[in-house]
Structure formats: C-alpha cells, structure tokens
Structure 1
Amino acid sequence: MAIPPNPCGAETAAHRLVIVEGIMGSGKSTTMRLIARRLEDSGRAALPIHERTEPHPVRATDELEHWFEPWRDATPRDLADRALARWAAFVEATQRDSPIPVMDGQLFHGDLTHLLLMDADTALIVDYVKALAVVIAPLNPFVLYLWQEDVEKAVRTVCTERGPEWIDYQVNWKLASPYCVRKGYQGLDGLISLYRDYRQITDALFQQLPLAKLSIENSRRDWSAYERQILSRL
C-alpha cells in the first residue's frame, strides 16, 4: 500500500506539537528523541514525551484501575471521552508554556490501540480521531507517520530483536482482549493479524487527517535519509 505524504495545514506557522506515529518497533521513540534534540539545537525548547512517561499527560487508560485491561473498567465511549478531555487540558496547558511537546504516539498508538482492543465500533474510532484532530488543531500539530509496506515482516523483525519474553508479553496482553478473542487470534500469527487490522485503520485515518503531516516508509532503515526528510518539513 502506498501512503502519500499528503501535506496539509499551515506549513508557515510554527508547530507547537509534534506527534510521531507507527506500530511497535517502527522507530517512534528514536525519532521522537531526534526531533526534540534538533528543535533544541535550533533554539526551540522541546519536551520529549515517551510512551512510558509517568504521569502521562494524555493517555486516558492511566486513570483506570486495570489500565492494562481497560475493557474491565470502561466502555469504548467512556475511554474516548476521557482521552479527549485529557487532550483538551493538555492543549490548554501547552498553549501557555514554551516547550514544544514531541510525543511518542498517542494520536493512534495509545488510547486508539486500546479502543481497538476493546472491540470499539469502527465509526466510534473514526469519530474519536476526527474530534481529537479538532482538539489539537490550535497547536498547529505536525504528524509524522512511520510505516512499513510488509506488516508481517515488520512485526517479525521487532519480535526477533526484542526476544521471546517480549513476544509473550505482547501476545498474552493483547490477544486476551475482546477484539482478539472475537477474531480468534492466537500466538505470533495472531499478533501479526492484529497489526494488519490496526494498520488498515490507521493508514486510512492518517490519509484523512486535516493536519500538517508526513509519511515515511522506513523498511530500509536509512535513518540519515529519513532525518533529512523530517527536518526539511520542520
């Protein structure tokens, strides 16, 4: 599948938020840190926000007792509303402060992943992202989408790199969710199927985003070339 860069938004205005998206192992964290460092080097204060940042400023599942299994504590609608409220508070605070947040996921990778695992209706997921795009629009965000043409190869690569314990962790957590149980997904093959489904959703959502954005197919791992592409847009 070919995902065009499809730039949107006011490119001449300063971006007050940068979001780096992609599936697990796609290079989000590394790229997030790179962007934050480059912004700092150019004299713009930046705030890198890793997915493991605690307390996390926008991830709504952190509020739940069973944050690891949000389907035990909330409905998809409730989680989407919680997430939008947290994002709204974050945007308000960011407008007052100087550092530019550079976020590891959380537009898709984060609560949207949880919504999928909770077996939310596709319409609810689409409406959630549309509403979120409106909420963050005052920051003139820039969204970088890292993707891989061959999803199975990408998932198998990260699984090989991170080892059997990490694979078991991912399988035992995600494939116990309502969505994966309904689909009958099991083992590593089931995890690959989940991420094929996930990518189908996020590819479409990215193409529809009315925000400044750039997609990079990064299977070759030519990081110096990707860095040049990214910095030319920032």
Structure 2
Amino acid sequence: MTKRLFLIEGLPGSGKTTTAEALTRLFQKEQINTRLHIEGDLNHPADYESVAYLKMDEWIDFQSKYASLDVLRFAEVFNDYVLVSYRQWQSEKDIPEAELAFLQARDIYELPFELYQSMIFKKWETFVAQALTTDITYVFECCFLQNPLTMGLIKYDLPEATLRAYIERIATIIAPLQPVLVYVDQTDVEKSFRKALNERPTEWADGFVSYYTEQAYGVNRSLSGVEGTITILQARQELERQLLEMLPFRVERFGNEDFSVEARQLWLKQLIQSTVRSTSLSES
C-alpha cells in the first residue's frame, strides 16, 4: 500500500471519531503503519489545537515576563511571529489565568480569516512534505472540511465561492498523498444531532449550541438554541455535499444512519480491500 491520507468527515454526532478509530484498528491489524489524529489532538501534524499566534512585539513582551515559566519550550519562533502551544504549556506549568486568557484570545482559530487561512496552508504544506518521506498512513478526523467550514461558514459567514476556493487549495496541497475522503453521512441531521446531545456531557452541548448560534452565520439569520443549531448544521451539510462533488480525489460516503458496528466494520474492510486493489493496479 502506497502512502495514503484518509480524511474522515461528517457532521457532529455522525460517527466520525468512531469510524476513524475503527479504520485505524483495521489498518494496524493488516500491519499497515498507521497514525490516527482526531479532533482536539494537541500534536496534530496538519492542524492547530490550542495554539496562539503572537506578533513578534507581543512575543518579546510576553516571553520577558514569563521566561521563568519556560514558555520557550512550547513556542515556535518564525521571522515575524511566534506560535505558542498553550495547552501543552498549561499541562506542565501553572499558568496565571490572565496569561492563559491572553493566549486564548490569540488562538489560530480567532485570527482574521485571511491570516488563519495562510497559517493552515503552511501547516498542510509542511505536513505533506514530511509525510512523503515516510511509509506512514495517516487517518485525520475533521480537519479537511469541518474545521475550515467552522471558520469560513460558521464564524465569518463567507461567500460559498470563497469557501470552495479554500477547500480546493487544500485539496491541491494534499494531492501527492493520494488522499481518500470518507464522508460519514446522516440523512436525518436533527435525529443524529439530538442523539449526540443526549449522549454527550451538558457542557459540550451548551458550548456547541452557543458557538454555532452566536457566530456570524447564526447571528445574521437570527438563529438560536438547539433548533437554530440544527438549521445551521443542515446548511453546512448541504455545502459539504456540494464540496464533495468537486474534489479531485477519491470520495466514499458511508451511510451511518443505524450506527451499526457490524455494518461499519464490513464497509471499512471493503474500503481497505478496494484501496489495496486500486494501488496494486496503479503500480502494475
């Protein structure tokens, strides 16, 4: 099996994480060197999780104040900016609340869209260059469609043409890895999302609904509460399905309406078999 990147996408509550984990286990069972990176991974090689962007003057001032807390170990210094992995820092040091809030306000996902977008492109480019030197198969959850659309659609309510161009650029960057996108589909968005609300902690549910309805897309349409969130998710799904049609690489849709473990395992095994078969044919 040649180098591969498997992208697992779908709406919250659709079964993305479970599908990504199951796919990884099957690869490992086949002795395929595989690395899984799911949502919230602090060490994600192609995305940012709890990473702050500081201009150089901000960094100089910040570092001078907190050098004793060894922040440099958790920072990447570039020519005109610095990235600080503040959750990793927090996991090892007792960071004052005011300083943590300062970094959170400068999170990559709080940047203006153009700057955020440029940072994401650089991250993907660096990852692809590194991945091409290894024999690792990567499984990524949600960083190809969900995270970009959370910023572009939900947070900033940008035109669809802008979002399409953004996704197209990432697709071009990752093309050398021969990606395969698995879209975990749900025909009934309301049913699957309410299932997630019932199964997950109240803090997650409240935070998710609050975020979705209080960003530009929800505010511009006067959407609120769970019902408003479902409306936004339905719009997001419609856009995602349109984006799937334009991608220049393999896309497979897995209908997960029944959340059947057996059906998922069978579908993923068939996916792996077809991937290995298509790879063998291309190499012959």
For the criterion TM > 0.5, the same-fold answer is yes
Q: Is 1:90 matched with 2:127? A: yes
Task: Give deviations 1:23-47, integer Å, cap 9, x for gaps.
Answer: 1111111111111111111111100
Runs of 4+ residues over 6 Å off in structure 1: none
Map of 1:31 onto structure 2: 19
Larger Rg computed on CA atoms: 2
Map of 1:3 onto structure 2: none
Which runs of structure 2 are paired with 1:204-223 in the superposition (5 Å)?
A: 204-223=242-261
Post-superposition offset of 1:80: 2.1
Task: Give deviations 1:183-211, integer Å, cap 9, x for gaps.
Answer: 11101011101101110110111122121
CA contact (8 A) 1:115 1:125 kept: yes
Map of 1:44 onto structure 2: 32
Which runs of structure 2 are paired with 1:195-210 in the superposition (5 Å)?
A: 195-210=233-248
CA contact (8 A) 1:159 1:167 kept: yes
Map of 1:115 onto structure 2: 152
Which runs of structure 2 are paired with 1:1-234 in the superposition (5 Å)?
A: 14-60=2-48, 62-64=51-53, 65=103, 66=105, 70-71=109-110, 73-74=111-112, 76-117=113-154, 118-234=156-272
Post-superposition offset of 1:15: 4.8
- Equivalent AA in structure 1 for residue 46 of structure 2: V
CA contact (8 A) 2:3 2:136 kept: no
Distance in 2 (alpha carbons) for counterparts of 1:228 and 1:160: 27
Task: Give deviations 1:103-136, integer Å, cap 9, x for gaps.
Answer: 1111111122221122122111001111111111
CA contact (8 A) 2:42 2:48 kept: no
For these two proteins, the number of residue pairs brought into alignment is 220
Distance in 1 (alpha carbons) for counterparts of 2:108 and 2:228: 18
The 1:68–1:157 alpha-carbon spacing in structure 2 relative to 1, beyond 3 Å, is farther
Structure whose residues are more often helix by fraction: 2
Distance in 2 (alpha carbons) for counterparts of 1:63 and 1:214: 34
Q: What are the ranges of 5 or more consecutive residues in structure 2 without an aligned counterpart? A: 54-102, 273-284
Does 1 or 2 have the higher relative contact order (CA < 8 Å, sep 6+)? 1
Q: TM-score of the superposition, structure 1-length normalised?
A: 0.87
